[in-house]
């Protein structure tokens, strides 16, 4: 069989080099005759790689020194609750830009803890999904924070502008886009990401939070979600997901070897352009997302003849192109092409799509 390419939205593929390194030291890590997942998180060996992972992430994203980097439990959804519990009071307002299903989910969770207000929402333009930019005049400057998601994993909707918020701290759910391109951390109050899309295995989430927002958790905040406790304990208030943290560290090393986020941004733009060109150049396939808002990470596309969906999925899998089924709420296909996906993988998909159209079109 040819090489297999995995287009899963998450948990997603990891770089082969990283997996092979982990495999090579799986049962005998650092000559300790045991696995990294079998040692204490408080031992010198683990603390060393945990600190290196943080430093590498700081280097990759040029994270300013007045930001904490936290490695926590609870995934992306954990932060839907942790953010309001840490930086708002129950009588406060939080502002939300809803660009797709994840940012919508964040509203519902925030609403349990504060007064969540939607200030902008994805709409239709020329028959396609489009994200309008809320104007600064509509931003309540007394709000506790302004939440948005620049890349919607399910819908394949993205935007590259930073919302204008005045003095209200921006909170960004970057679960499916972090490390895919350069990022101005200093313009944000909080950036968070579940690991299983672009960082490493599930079970870990990364929170980058500005110092002045830490230390205000509500009394009822579960201790494991309290940014202040996490920061004070170097993310080891309780046992962290050690194996996920270790593997994330290997991914950060791989990213540095690959030339960092600038090199990744180039490669990701090339991959996305190959795939969208293939979709746009044929009436057999279509995208429902406006060209201004097309994600470079998650690319949903639809067959004009939906009767062919099952055959497309069956034959693509046989061709070694895995996990192309779209999310159940969107239908059609979705190819997730995170950092770990090679240009070759996208070329193989495009080639398959052309051949499938030739035979069935």
Ligand X SMILES: *Cc1c(COP(=O)(O)O)cnc(C)c1O
Query: Do the beta carbons of residue 169 and residue 190 sit within 8 Å?
Result: yes
Closest contact distance (angstroms) between CB of 65 and ligand X is 27
CA-to-CA dists, residue 214 to 90, 187, 317, angstroms: 17, 16, 46
Q: 76 or 357, CB closer to ligand X?
A: 76
Q: 230 or 319, CB closer to ligand X?
A: 230
Q: Is 173 a catalytic residue?
A: yes
Closest contact distance (angstroms) between CB of 234 and ligand X is 22
30 φ/ψ sector (left φ>0, alpha ψ -120 to 50, else beta)? left
Closest contact distance (angstroms) between CB of 288 and ligand X is 18
Q: Is 167 a catalytic residue?
A: no
Name 105's Cβ contacts closer than 8 Å, sequence gap at least 6: 77, 80
The C-alpha torsion from 246 through 251 and 253 to 259, rounded to 10°, is: -170
Which residue in 29, 56, 104, 173 is the catalytic one? 173
The beta strand positions in the chain, using DSSP E, are 5-6, 67-72, 93-98, 115-121, 123-125, 128-130, 145-148, 151-152, 157-158, 170-173, 190-194, 205-210, 285-286, 298-303, 321-322, 333-336
153, two tokens: 């994993």
Closest contact distance (angstroms) between CB of 182 and ligand X is 19
Q: 73 or 210, CB closer to ligand X?
A: 73
Closest contact distance (angstroms) between CB of 28 and ligand X is 31
Residues within the interface to ligand X (CB under 6 A)? 10, 75-77, 102, 149, 153, 173, 175-176, 194, 197
Which residue in 102, 155, 226, 296 is the catalytic one? 102
Q: 10 or 249, CB closer to ligand X?
A: 10
Which residue in 104, 197, 271, 325 is the catalytic one? 197
How far is it, in rounded angstroms, from Cα 142 to Cα 92?
Answer: 8
Closest contact distance (angstroms) between CB of 197 and ligand X is 6
Q: 176 or 316, CB closer to ligand X?
A: 176
Query: How crowded is residue 115: how many other Cβ atoms within 10 Å of its Cβ?
Result: 14
Q: 336 or 356, CB closer to ligand X?
A: 336
Q: Is 352 helix (H, G, I), strand (E, B) or coil?
A: helix
How far is it, in rounded angstroms, from Cα 165 to Cα 139?
Answer: 6
Asked if residue 11 has a cis previous peptide bond (ω within 30° of 0), the answer is yes
Q: Which positions are annotated as active-site residues?
A: 102, 173, 197
């Amino acid at each position: 069989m040819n090489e297999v390419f995995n287009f899963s939205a998450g948990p997603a593929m990891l770089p082969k080099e990283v997996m092979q390194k982990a495999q090579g030291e799986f049962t005998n890590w650092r000559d300790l005759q045991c696995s990294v997942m079998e040692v204490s998180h408080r031992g010198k060996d683990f603390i060393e790689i945990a600190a290196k992972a943080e430093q590498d992430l700081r280097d990759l994203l040029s994270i300013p020194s007045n930001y904490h980097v936290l490695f926590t439990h609870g995934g992306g959804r954990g932060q839907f609750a942790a953010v309001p519990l840490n930086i708002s009071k129950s009588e406060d307002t939080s502002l939300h830009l809803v660009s797709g299903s994840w940012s919508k989910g964040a509203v519902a969770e925030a609403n349990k803890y504060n007064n969540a207000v939607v200030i902008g929402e994805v709409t239709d333009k020329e028959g396609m999904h489009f994200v309008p930019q809320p104007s600064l005049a509509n931003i309540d400057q007394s709000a506790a924070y302004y939440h948005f998601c620049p890349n919607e994993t399910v819908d394949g909707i993205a935007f590259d502008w930073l919302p204008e918020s005045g003095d209200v701290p921006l909170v960004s759910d970057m679960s499916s886009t972090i490390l895919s391109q350069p990022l101005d951390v200093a313009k944000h109050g909080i950036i968070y990401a579940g690991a299983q899309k672009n960082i490493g295995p599930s079970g870990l989430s990364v929170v980058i939070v500005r110092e002045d927002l830490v230390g205000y958790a509500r009394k009822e905040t579960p201790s494991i979600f309290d940014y202040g406790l996490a920061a004070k304990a170097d993310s080891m208030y309780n046992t962290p997901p050690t194996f996920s943290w270790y593997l994330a560290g290997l991914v950060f090393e791989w990213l540095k070897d690959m030339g960092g986020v600038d090199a990744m941004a180039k490669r990701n733009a090339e991959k996305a352009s190959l795939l969208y060109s293939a979709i746009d150049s044929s009436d057999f396939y279509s995208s429902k997302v406006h060209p201004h808002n097309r994600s470079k990470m998650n690319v949903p596309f639809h067959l004009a003849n939906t009767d062919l969906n099952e055959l497309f999925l069956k034959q693509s899998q046989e061709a070694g192109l895995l996990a192309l089924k779209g999310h159940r709420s969107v239908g059609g296909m979705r190819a997730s092409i995170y950092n770990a996906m090679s240009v070759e993988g996208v070329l193989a998909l495009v080639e398959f799509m052309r051949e499938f159209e030739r035979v069935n079109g």
